[in-house]
C-alpha cells in the first residue's frame, strides 16, 4: 500500500479579509426597514389645503342676486366693478336677510312707519328711537366669525369685515341708517351699496 502524502496546510484568512467578507455578508442580508407608522405631516398639509379652498369658496358674489317686485336695486352712473368681498345684507320691501339664509331676520312694517321710526320697537335694543336692530346684530355676529376665518385664510386683515348692502331702491333713509349703524356696531367697518350701473346722469 502506498502511503498518502500529507496535505499542505491551507493559509489562514487574515483579519482584514475576514472583516471585509463579514461586511459584505451584512450588506447582502440587510433588509430595508419597514414603514410601520402613518405620516401625519403630509395628511395635515392636505387637510390645510382643503380647508383653505373651502373657506375661499364660502364668499359668494352678490352681483347674481335676482330682482323681484319685493327687491329692485337703485341705478347709478358709476361704472366700477362691484365688490366681491363681504357679507351680503338684503333689505327688501318686506324683510331683511343675511347671507344665503332665506329665513327673514326682520319682517318690515309699512313704508310710512319705516320712514318715521324704522323697524318695530320690539326689534330695537332700547326703544323706537334706537338705531340698533338686535336680530340683525345677532345674525351678523355669526356671519362675522365665518368672515373672519375666510379673511384670515385669504391673507386679509381679520380685524374688520366688509358688508354688501343690497337694498331696494325705495328703502327709507331711516331704515338704511339703522342697518348701517347695526353693521358698524357688529365690527363691519366697510360697506358697499349694491346698485345697477347704467343710470342716467341728472
What was the pLDDT predicted at 107?
A: 92
Neighbours of 50 (CB within 10 A): 10
Residues with pLDDT less than 50, the chain? 1, 59-62, 77-78, 201-202
Of residues 141, 136, 119, 195, the one with CA closest to residue 164: 195
* Spatial contact of 190 and 145, defined as CB atoms under 8 Å apart: no
pTM beyond 0.75, yes or no: no
What was the pLDDT predicted at 185?
A: 93
Amino acid at each position: 500500500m502506498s502511503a498518502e502524502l500529507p496535505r499542505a496546510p491551507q493559509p489562514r484568512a487574515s483579519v482584514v479579509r475576514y472583516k471585509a467578507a463579514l461586511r459584505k455578508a451584512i450588506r447582502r442580508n440587510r433588509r430595508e426597514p419597514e414603514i410601520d407608522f402613518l405620516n401625519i405631516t403630509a395628511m395635515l398639509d392636505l387637510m390645510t389645503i382643503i380647508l383653505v379652498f373651502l373657506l375661499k369658496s364660502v364668499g359668494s358674489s352678490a352681483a347674481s342676486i335676482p330682482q323681484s317686485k319685493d327687491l329692485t336695486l337703485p341705478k347709478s352712473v358709476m361704472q366700477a366693478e362691484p365688490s366681491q368681498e363681504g357679507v351680503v345684507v338684503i333689505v327688501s320691501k318686506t324683510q331683511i336677510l343675511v347671507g344665503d339664509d332665506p329665513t327673514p331676520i326682520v319682517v318690515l312694517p309699512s313704508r310710512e312707519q319705516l320712514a318715521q321710526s324704522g323697524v318695530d320697537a320690539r326689534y330695537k335694543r332700547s326703544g323706537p328711537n334706537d338705531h340698533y336692530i338686535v336680530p340683525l346684530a345677532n345674525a351678523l355676529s355669526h356671519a362675522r366669525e365665518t368672515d373672519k376665518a375666510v379673511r384670515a385664510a385669504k391673507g386679509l386683515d381679520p380685524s374688520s369685515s366688509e358688508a354688501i348692502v343690497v337694498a331696494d331702491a325705495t328703502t327709507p333713509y331711516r331704515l338704511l341708517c339703522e342697518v348701517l349703524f347695526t353693521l358698524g356696531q357688529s365690527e363691519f367697518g366697510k360697506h358697499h351699496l349694491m346698485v345697477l350701473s347704467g343710470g342716467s346722469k341728472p
